Structure 1
């Protein structure tokens, strides 16, 4: 399969080069831009679904948040002009920006902030960060432009979380239809959505800083096939492809018409294991799976070398990171012995559900071959993104799957009851509560190290690597993010030189 993709990519590249006009690559679109994405979102409301593809289109473009996360991971004001934090780090007083309107003409004010956060934390909320909002003791609208949030416990990352897509401020009258008719305070409005093909945003002329927004029209095309991704870029049909297949990098680096941006991330690519399924509920079986995986081979085969091995659900560079790759190292004989100790008779058949991104499909082939060496038959099932979200994520219908978790601060998922991987540990939940309530960075760092070691020893997953994301773009396109602490395409910052 991998060799076949090489052939497909080469064929598509040759065809594209043969037909490439001299003036291609979007030189004429000075007030518009075409971006491409691997996955199409299931909707356009980031408070209603877990898919990061939602935020890739609407975050900071259609919807805005109190704070804004910058490419370097720092936080700056957005809908909040300023804020004060109480000495115990539990109370936040936000001063809101005045004169802001929603795209349906309604005013943005403290009442809309209160509505948004109470809705996100309500019992029926489907917000993937519901825990953050249900952890708010109160959200008080002191006046039209002052909001006071009292948290039940301190959260050192609270201001960062208030800049994530799940913390968007929604307009109460339109909130229930945001999935198909998004209404925000941002610089762009939804112009059209051609299901299976593209989403187009149009500049909102009544945006408070409309004069600084260069692009009048932004189109997001959905291209999942790696060969088609390369061909679309070479033909000039696409101006930029954030998180494109890394297999294309060499040819674009050698082409003066393009720029290649290699971005750091806080993402974690994992072989997720359904801890509720037998015999995967036995830690010895999960450790055997982990020991059967050669992470370096997976990085080469699945990510074309763009990744750093990890041994737990935490990325190098984050506060308190410890190297846990030595806890479940690659060791075929140990893996076989662990299966025998657990009483597992081989061959053991397990499902391996693979969503469309190349890192999953290519990495799945490598891992299936590695597991076969210890008697585990990983039956690969390629599924579309909507199938993965409904079957794997929502209904937990899987044994193994490969996925990148891109949120920087998502250790709390391991303390979340009913999460899709079925890990329920009172010890970890208690440890996570200590992390959340540790005011000193040094104390949090130590506890975060303990959490990483616990997850590694419990072999919750086959922890694979921290990916590096590749963006290929027309050389004249300016304003692309260098690093990606969160998955967004901040198109209001783009311009042509």
Structure 2
């Protein structure tokens, strides 16, 4: 969809005002050279810890998932579930018993042997009463865990859970050792292809290839990897230009992407992520408790123009809480497409012929205030006044919006893959309740048939696109910049990660 140009409108003027001018970055005098089998990879955010089973921030998994830690299953670069520490599995006809056949000859980096008892201990740690696992709900349907022998793990469920194999591939589900789990936050020890070396807080984490890695089909192309933490986008770009950093798989400044044009030593890639930018509404508060109001606001928004103004035209408009990465995706951007005249008519029908006034609480991440300013101008064109209240993230936003639900509207990028089920959670900050939607979510878990699940995911998307509990805006892209000789990094991001298994330098 081409952006709509608003001649002499406040939106057009706003877009011109939001145009970002990047500081000039001089190219490096010498091209960055491939450093043999070493890699320096840049990240904007430094994780507070390195154990993804005890904290939620995605930066943890971006260092350690699939590099240091592994799970019973894994998720590949196409978003598909694949075997890992479990080489195969059987599912009972009633969907309530999963029998995993485990890999043999696997050891942790400290020498502890992996077997069914270790897998059981790890899962019990994740689902136990004292668990702080960020996705503890993923294990809620596990009733008992049995270990009939060292190579067999049996999960007996209280009810069918069709997403279980997918959930077991998440960073929060990795298998940790019985001896090392308590210290994994600062000294991660897993079964993966890379071993933890050191962490200089505020600067870098270093890993090295695991010479005793159990999967002999994997031929590592790297011996040593350094994760460098650089928050400032200008500094990120300068480090790439100078060759101090070989890759920034998630470059944080779309307005600077053009600065890399003409530099043959670097490759720029625009891929997909799971970062769904949505403007959530408090469905329990007037006037957002009226579906017609929510639908009218959706029709007041030209999504492509929001992408243009908020993220330098880099992003994919969406019509529901789902991304093109995800299985069963349906393009629903036309359900309540941009139509301000219809929006005004629907507002009048709902009892707001002269519009209304409300407040949006925006976290400080760049996409949020930029998107809100474009939306503010669009809402003004249908007679609705939106006041913008900056809200510190995460502490203040979590307190007021996520936990307190004290808000009219907010805007945030939801990062979890396949998290459409959040609209069935009670409580959740949208205050959205729809028994029909909940029933579809239940049906998804009641079957392990991928084709049936995909159909049901399509039904769930359509319900949200029609009900509009949130304004569905766009998926943020994965902006990658790396040395042109570097191969094997994921271009798309079905799960937040920096998987190094296939990364190598071109000879």
TM-score bracket for this pair, using the shorter chain length:
0.7 to 0.9
Moved more, 258-267 or 133-142: 258-267
In the alignment, is residue 233 of structure 1 matched against residue 240 of structure 2?
A: yes
Question: In the alignment, which residue of structure 1 is the partner of 2:190?
Answer: 184
Q: Does the 8 A contact of 1:282 with 1:342 survive in 2?
A: no
Question: Structure 2 CA distance, aligned partners of 1:8 and 1:235?
Answer: 21
Counterpart residue number, 1:470 = 479
Q: Which moved more, 1:477-486 or 1:215-224?
A: 215-224
State how many pairs are aligned.
Answer: 488
- Cross-structure match for 1:480: 489
CA contact (8 A) 1:182 1:190 kept: no
Taking the TM superposition and a 5 Å limit, the aligned residue runs for 1:6-25 are: 9-11=22-24, 13=25, 16-17=26-27, 20-23=28-31, 25=32
2-side partners of 1:251 and 1:372: how far apart? 35
Q: State the shift of 1:454 in Å.
A: 1.8
Higher mean Cα deviation, 465-474 or 387-396?
387-396
Deviation at 1:70, TM superposition (A): 1.6
The separation in 2 between residues aligned to 1:372 and 1:225, in whole angstroms, is 34
CA contact (8 A) 1:372 1:378 kept: no
One of 363, 369, 375 as aligned partner of 2:371: 363
Q: Distance in 2 between matches of 1:360 and 1:217?
A: 37
Deviation at 1:469, TM superposition (A): 1.8
Q: 1:397 to 1:36 in 2, by over 3 A?
A: farther
Per-residue displacement from partner, 1:306-333 (whole Å, max 9, x unpaired)?
A: 3332211122364443333233322334
Residues 330 and 177 (structure 1), Cα distance of their counterparts in 2 relative to 1, 3 Å cut? farther
Identify the residue that residue 294 of structure 1 maps to in structure 2. Answer: 302
Cα distance between partner residues in 2 of 1:37 and 1:317 = 22
Q: What displacement does 1:49 show?
A: 3.1
CA distance in 2, matches of 1:430, 1:103: 44
Structure 2 Cα separation of the partners of residues 123 and 418 of structure 1: 20
Query: Which residue of 256, 260, 263 maps to 2:271?
Result: 263
Structure 2: 5+ residue runs without aligned partners? 1-13
Alpha carbons 1:262, 1:482 under 8 Å: kept? yes
Partners in 2 of 1:442 and 1:77 — Cα distance?
Answer: 19
* 1:371/1:378 contact within 8 Å kept: no
Q: Deviations over 1:332-364 (max 9, x none)?
A: 3444455563569866241332343x4445434
Distance 1:169 1:327, change over 3 A: same
Contact kept? 1:64, 1:168, Cα under 8 Å: yes
Structure-2 change in CA distance of 1:495 and 1:324 (3 Å)? closer
Aligned to 2:10: none
Q: State which of 97, 114, 118 in structure 2 corresponds to 1:112.
A: 118
Q: Distance in 2 between matches of 1:213 and 1:389?
A: 41
Aligned to 1:61: 67
Alignment of 1:274-285 (within 5 A): 274-276=282-284, 279-285=287-293
Q: Distance in 1 between matches of 2:430 and 2:306?
A: 21
Three-state SS of the structure 1 residue aligned to 2:461 is: helix
Q: Alignment partner for residue 243 of structure 1, among 247, 250, 258?
A: 250
Question: Cα deviation per residue 1:247-300 (whole Å; 9 max; x = unaligned)?
Answer: 333443432111123323455332233445555444344334323221011122
> Residue 401 and residue 69 in structure 1: after superposition, are their counterparts in 2 closer, same or farther (change >3 A)?
same
- The structure-2 alpha-carbon separation of the partners of 1:242 and 1:139, relative to structure 1 and needing over 3 Å to count, comes to same
Contact 2:304–2:317 (CA under 8 A) maintained in structure 1: yes
1:153-190, CA deviations, whole angstroms, 9 ceiling, x for partnerless residues?
A: 43444333222112111223443443334332222215
C-alpha distance in 2, partners of 1:238/1:3? 33
Could you tell me which residue of structure 2 aligns to residue 94 of structure 1?
100
Q: 1:182 to 1:391 in 2, by over 3 A?
A: farther
Q: Aligned-pair RMSD on alpha carbons?
A: 3.3
Partner of 1:452: 461
Aligned-partner SS, 2:411: strand
